[in-house]
Structure 1
Amino acid sequence: MWQKKDIVNEFQRLGKRITKQRMVILDVILEQNWTDCKEVYYEAVQRDSTVGLSTVYRTIRMLEEMGVLKRVYQYVFTDETGVRADGENEVIAPEFHGKNGLRQIEKEKEKCCSVSAS
C-alpha cells in the first residue's frame, strides 16, 4: 500500500507540482476507498474550497498512471425489476436493465477508482 510520503516523492521524481489542492485530494483518497471521482471532489471541496473538479480528475489520472490507483468496472446481475440478483436490496437503474437481467454498471472513465496495493 502506498504511503503519502512515497506518493509525494514520486510526484517530485516525475517533476509534478505538489500543490495544496493535490495534497487535499491525496488525503481524501488515502482515508478511504472511493468509487467515484465526484465523491472525492465533494469531500475535498469541503476541506478546501479552491479544489476544482478538473483538478480531481487530473490528480486521479496521474495517480492511476503512477500505479497508486486502479480503475475498476463493476458488473452485477439483476432480475427483470432491476433488483440485484445476489440478494442485496439495492435497486440498480431498473429502467436500464438488460434483456437477460445483466446490468452493466460502468462509470465514466475517470470516475472509477479505488486504492491499489501495487
Structure 2
Amino acid sequence: MSRKDEIIERLKENGCRITKQRKILIDIILENDCASCKEIFYKASQEDDRIGVATVYRMINALERIGAISRKNMYRIESGESCAGGCDIVLEDDTVFSIPKEKLDQIVRDGVRRCGYLSNGKEISRIIYRDGQT
C-alpha cells in the first residue's frame, strides 16, 4: 500500500470524506517541501481554483489528528524511512532545509576527516545511518 493510500485509509477511518480536493492536497504535501499553508494553498489553487484556504487548514488539522504530520515537521508527511532520501535540518527559528542523501554522505565524510577521526591513511568504506528522533 502506498503512503498516499495509507493516509487516505486513515482519514476514512476517522470519518473524513475523500474528495478530489483532499487528494490534491495530499499529493502536494507528499511531493513538495511546503513551508506554510499559504504555499500549499497557492500550489493547490493552481490545480483546482475551487480549493479555498479554509480547506487547506482543515486538511492540515485532519492530517495532524491522524498522526500523519506533527507541529515539529508541520507540512511534511512522515515517511517512516530512515535517511534513505537524505535529511531535513531544522534551525532554531523553525526554518527547514533538506539535504539529499548524496550531499549528506559528503558532509559526513568531510566532517569525519576534519575532526580527525581518520588516521593512518584510512578511508570510510560506508556510512550507516541509524533511525532516531531528536
Structure 2-normalised TM-score?
A: 0.54
Does the 8 Å contact 2:3/2:79 carry over to 1? no
**Higher Cα radius of gyration:** 2
Q: Which consecutive unaligned segments of at least 5 residues does structure 2 have?
A: 81-134
State how 1:96-115 maps to structure 2 within 5 Å. 112-115=74-77
1:107 alignment counterpart: none
Moved more, 46-55 or 6-15: 6-15
Report sequence identity in percent: 38
- 1:117 Cα offset (Å): 3.5
Q: 3-state SS of the aligned residue for 1:115? A: coil
- 1:115 Cα offset (Å): 2.5
Does the 8 Å contact 1:35/1:113 carry over to 2? yes
- 1:8 Cα offset (Å): 0.9
2:79 alignment counterpart: 117
Per-residue deviation, residues 57-91 of structure 1 (Å, max 9, x unmatched): 00011101111112138xxxxxxxxxxxxxxxxxx
2:64 alignment counterpart: 64
Per-residue deviation, residues 13-56 of structure 1 (Å, max 9, x unmatched): 11211111111111100102211011000000000111010000
Q: Which consecutive unaligned segments of at least 5 residues does structure 1 have?
A: 74-111
Does the 8 Å contact 2:14/2:66 carry over to 1? no
1:14 alignment counterpart: 14
Alignment of 1:36 with 2:36, yes or no, is: yes
- 1:5 Cα offset (Å): 0.3
Return the letter of the residue paired with 2:15.
G
Structure 1 runs of 4+ with >2 Å offset: 112-118
Structure 1-normalised TM-score?
A: 0.61
Moved more, 6-15 or 43-52: 6-15
